[in-house]
Amino acid sequence: MKTMKNNRFWIGSTLVITMLVFAPLAVAGQDSASSKAKKADPMQVVRGAKAWKNNCGRCHNLRSPKELTDEEWDVSVTHMRIRANLLPLEADDIKAFLKASN
């Protein structure tokens, strides 16, 4: 019984702290992402190349952009966005670079 109470305390505490910390960031993040996504940015590919080199090369060799199709890069970069804790805009830049280079 004591274990269950202790368990609920941990779960509840974690969820509350998470919501308190990240709720403001969530709103700010959605605003920034949506407003920037609407604008075409000619420098996106350049930023993407830099982000690709700095982030992907941190753990493994850089894959050739020609290894995958556009659609496969969409999924692969989304997967790596989670695994490598990338910012969404950073991941979008990397996708733009890879699609422009494959």
Question: Which one, 43 or 90, has the nearer CB to other proteins?
Answer: 90
What count of other Cβ atoms lies within 10 Å of the Cβ of residue 9? 10
Binding positions for other proteins, 31-70, rule CB under 8 A: 32-33, 54, 57-64, 67-68, 70
φ, ψ of residue 91 to 5 degrees: the values are -65, -40
CB 88, min distance to other proteins, A:
5
Question: Which one, 33 or 100, has the nearer CB to other proteins?
Answer: 33
Q: How far apart are the first and last CA of the chain?
A: 59
CB 83, min distance to other proteins, A:
7
Which strand (E) or helix (H) includes residue 29? helix 2-37
Q: C-alpha 21: how far from its chain's center?
A: 19
> CB of 8 within 8 A of CB of 56?
no
CB 95, min distance to other proteins, A:
11
89 residue type, one letter? L
Binding site for other proteins (CB under 8 A): 3-4, 6-7, 10-11, 14, 18, 22, 25-27, 29-30, 32-33, 54, 57-64, 67-68, 70-72, 74-76, 78-79, 81-89
